[in-house]
Structures are given as C-alpha cells and as structure tokens.
Structure 1
Amino acid sequence: MPSFDVTRSRFRLSDDEVFVLAQLATGQPVPESMEPAAARLRDAGLADGAGELSALLLPLMKTLVQPSVILSLEAGGRQGTLHHGLLIGDEHVVCHETWPGEEEAEYRLVEPRTVVWTLADLVALRQSGGETDEEVVETTVGVLEAGLTALEKAASVPGADERALVAEALGAAGGATAAPRLAELIVELRSQWRMTAAWQGRRDGAQGVAARAVAAWDCGPLGYWLRELPAEPLAEGAAGEGSPFRLRRVAPKRVWQELTALLPDAAELG
C-alpha cells in the first residue's frame, strides 16, 4: 500500500505505482493492467478518480518525469541485489532507496547541495580510515564467479570454513595466484556496487546520452576496492569468463572523489 510522510516529503511506492503516477502526470492513459496500482493510489489519497495528483506529489513527479541527470546504483550483497538512485531536476533532487524483500521503495526530496553526501550514504561510505597503501588483486571474471558461487554454497552449510572453501574454488578455476587474498575479500564482502550517471549531452560529437560510471567493493575491515577491470561503463554481456578482473584498494577519500567526478558540470549538460 502506498504511503507518505508529509513532515519529510517522502513516499513509499512500488514500481507499478510510480508508472501510474508518471502516466497521470504526463496526461497519458493508464493501462487496464495497472488498475490495481491506480486504485491503491486513490485509496491512499495520492490521486483522485479524475486522475488528478495530490499537490504533495508535484515536486516529486516533476523531477521524476523530467530529470536532468539520472544516477543509478546497483548494489549486491548476501541479501541479493538492491537498486537505488538519485534524480536531479531543474529545481529538486529526488532520492529513491529499496529494501531487501520489499516491493516498495522510498522516494524523498533531498537538498541539492548535499548530492554527493547522499550518494555516499547510498553506498554506506565512511570517511574514517585515512590513507591506506594501495594494493592490486588481479584474476579473471570466470575465477571470480567461481569464488562467489563457492561462498553462496558455503553460506548454506552451518560451520563451514568459508575462506578455505572459496580459496579452493578459486584455485580449481585457475586463480591459484590470487586465491589467498581474493578469498579474504570475497568472504568479507559487504557489497559490490556500481553507480552510473547519465544525462543528455554530446557523445562522439553528436547529441545523445552521455554516461560515466564507477564500481567498487566494500570489504568491511579490509577496506574499499575500486573495480578497474572490467572497465565502466560496462555494457551487458561485454565481459566473459576470460575477461580480466582487477581490484585496487583505495582510501575512502578516493571513493568520495570518484562519486563527485560522476556528476556532469554545466558545460557537459549543454
């Protein structure tokens, strides 16, 4: 059931409900298959029988329908993959966050001056830790996938030595050299995430969608690791089992810099 919190300009909405709101906001018909979502919105007081939206939704929908910059975050961990993001409009900024096992996401307005802080919050980035010695771990995508699969299996076995089982799988897949350190990283992995910024700009000299992306691992006590290979932006299916995979350990400050660099400047927005 959709709901809202007037005090903080935030809303809980499912994908179907967001679709219906976008249709209503742009004057488009709502498909019959979406009628259950439309009914829920009416019951919650966010739309009426004539298709008019509540005034509470206007800043949110204006930004959702006409964003200048879209930032998408895909974060994977032991609870599965979650999708969060940020929509930057001419006047407002909207953040949306999902929750493990929940169909609805929270949409809220955020202060435009805090965009980078909000992005950092979405990936649970901490400032503590100071400088750290850089370290590189290299293998292939196929070896990495073997390690992640081993971790998933080990997690379902009470008392299993996850690190030993992951290291064994990495070695069997041909990654013996990187196995000891990579096994540690995989076992301590809190989340592996990829954030992409997209906007209408110029690409290869012509008008089109421009994009930048950064990917990283948060390995808790073992720190932050930027994924340098496969390089971003990465098209679906572009990396195969034999593709090189490289992680570089960096200080939290470097991750903050990478998030800041995602945002286009005024010239890039045209």
Structure 2
Amino acid sequence: MPSFDVTRSRFRLNDDEVFVLAQLATGQAVPAPMAPAAARLRDAGLANEAGELSALLLPLMKTLVQPSVIISLEAGGRQGTLHHGLLIGDDHVVCHETWPGEEEAEYRLVEPRTVVWTLADLVALRRSGEAADGAEEVVETTTGVLEAGFAALEKAASTPGADERTLVAEALRAAGAADATVARLAELAVELRSNWRMTAAWQGRQDGAQGVVARAVAAWDCGPLGYWLRELPAEPLAEGGAPAGSPFRLRRVAAKRIWQELTALLPDAAELTTA
C-alpha cells in the first residue's frame, strides 16, 4: 500500500504506482492492467477519481517526469541486488531507495546542496581504517575466476559450519587464480559488504553530437578491508557483462578517493544542454 510522510516529504511507492503517477502527471491514460495500482493511490489520498494528484506530490513528480540528471546505483550483496538512485531536476532533487525483500521504494526530497553527501550515504561511505594511510594495493585476476569464487561463497553460505574463506580460496585456485592473489581475493570476497556501480547520465554533447552522456564508477566495500575501486572491466560495461576471460582489477583506496569519484560523476553547468 502506498504511503507518505508529510514531515519529511517522503513516499513509499512500488514500480506500478510510480508508473501510474507519471501517466497522470503527464495527462496520459492509465492502462487497464494498472487499475489496481491507481486504486491504491486513490485509497492513500495521493490521487482522486478525476486523476488529479495530491499537491504533496507535485515537487516529486515534476522531478521524476523531467529530470536533468539521472544517477542510478546498483548495489549487490548477500541479500541480493538493490537499486537506488537520485533524480536531479531544475528545482528539486529526489532520492529513491529500495529495501531487501520489499517491492516498495522510498522516494524523498533532498536538499540540492547535499547531493554528494546523499550519494555517499547511498553507498554507506565511511572512513576506512586500513586504507586511511593512503597505501594502495592492487589485486588482479579474471572475471571467470571471480565468478567461481562467488559461486563457492554462495554454496558455503548455505552450508552450516562451512569455512567460507577456505572454500572460496579452493575455488579460486581451481579456476586458475594466481597463487599470489588467492588468499587476498578470498579475504575480500568473504568480507564483501557491497559490490556497487553508480552511473550518472544526462543530455549533453559528445563528439560534437547531442545525446546521452554518462559517467560511471564501480567499487567494492569490504568492511574492515577497506574500499576497492574496480578498474577492470572498465565502465561502461557492455550488456550481458564481461566475458569470463576478461581481466579483473581492484585497487584499494582511501574513503577520500571514493568521495572524489562520486563528485566527479556529476556534470557541471557547461556540460548540461537542453534536450
């Protein structure tokens, strides 16, 4: 059931409900299969029988329908993959966040001047003790080797009493990982809290032609083992991901570097053009 919190300008909505709101906001008919979602919105007081939206929704819908910049975050972990993001409009900024196992996402207005802080919060950026000294470390393997390690980790997680690190290391070695990287890569896989990729896209000019311009950054949050930028495979990834034999490279960095990468995703005024 959709719901809202007036005190913080936030709404809980599922995908069907967002679609219906977008249809109503742009004066389009709601398709018959979306009738249950439309009914739920009316019951929650977010729309009326005439298809008019509650005034509470106006800043949110104006931004959802006409964003200048779309920032999407795909964050994978042991509970599956979650999708969060930020929509930056002319007057407002909307943040949306999902929750493991829930169909609804929370949409809330955020202060435009806090965009980078909000992005940092979406990836749970914290000071990392191990990487705080600025010392960098590189771990290299292939995508196929890494997938073998994660398959072993998933199996170990469902086996009571299993030694995850040992099983992952064995799988990495069997898949062809170099002896020098097996132990460290197994540590990182076991400690991995979030494997995320953030992409910013907007209408601009690239190579002299107008179109969609995008920048992306990917990283691992390995908790006590710090933050690791994923340098290879390079973004943007082709649809379907990288082949098994593709080089895979992680570089340990301080939290400050992650902050810098998030800041660099955002376009400046000169990069934005009217679509």
Choose from 184, 198, 201 the match for 1:198: 201
For residue 235 of structure 1, report the CA deviation from its aligned partner: 2.1
Report what 2:53 is aligned to: 53
2:5 is aligned with 1:5: yes
How do residues 1-270 of structure 1 correspond to structure 2 at under 5 angstroms?
A: 1-127=1-127, 129=129, 130-177=132-179, 178-270=181-273
Report the identity percentage: 87
Aligned-partner SS, 2:48: coil
> Is the CA contact 2:21–2:61 (under 8 Å) kept in the aligned structure 1?
yes
The runs of 5 or more residues in structure 1 that have no matched partner are none
Q: Which amino acid in structure 2 is aligned with residue 60 of structure 1?
A: L
CA distance in 2, matches of 1:123, 1:30: 35
Change (3 A) 1:88 1:228: same
CA distance in 2, matches of 1:68, 1:260: 17
Aligned-partner SS, 1:169: helix
CA distance in 1, matches of 2:155, 2:11: 37
CA distance in 2, matches of 1:193, 1:209: 22
Deviations 1:70-113 (A, max 9, x none): 00000000000000000000000000000000000000000000
Q: Which amino acid in structure 2 is aligned with residue 26 of structure 1?
A: T
Aligned-partner SS, 1:208: strand
Give every structure 1 segment of 4 or more consecutive aligned residues whose post-TM-superposition deviation is greater than 2 Å: 127-132
Q: Which amino acid in structure 2 is aligned with residue 48 of structure 1?
A: N
CA distance in 2, matches of 1:71, 1:145: 27
Aligned-partner SS, 2:16: helix
TM-score (norm 2): 0.97
Aligned-partner SS, 1:86: strand
> Is the CA contact 2:128–2:224 (under 8 Å) kept in the aligned structure 1?
no
Aligned-partner SS, 1:99: coil
Aligned-partner SS, 1:207: strand
CA distance in 2, matches of 1:25, 1:118: 26
CA distance in 1, matches of 2:240, 2:4: 39
> Is the CA contact 2:188–2:225 (under 8 Å) kept in the aligned structure 1?
yes
Aligned-partner SS, 1:232: coil
CA distance in 2, matches of 1:114, 1:238: 32
Deviations 1:10-38 (A, max 9, x none): 00000000000000000011000000000
Q: 190-199 or 120-129: which moved more?
A: 120-129
CA distance in 1, matches of 2:207, 2:165: 45
Q: 177-186 or 13-22: which moved more?
A: 177-186
CA distance in 2, matches of 1:200, 1:167: 45
For residue 127 of structure 1, report the CA deviation from its aligned partner: 3.2
Number of equivalenced pairs: 270
Deviations 1:189-240 (A, max 9, x none): 0000000000000122200000000000000000000000000121212510
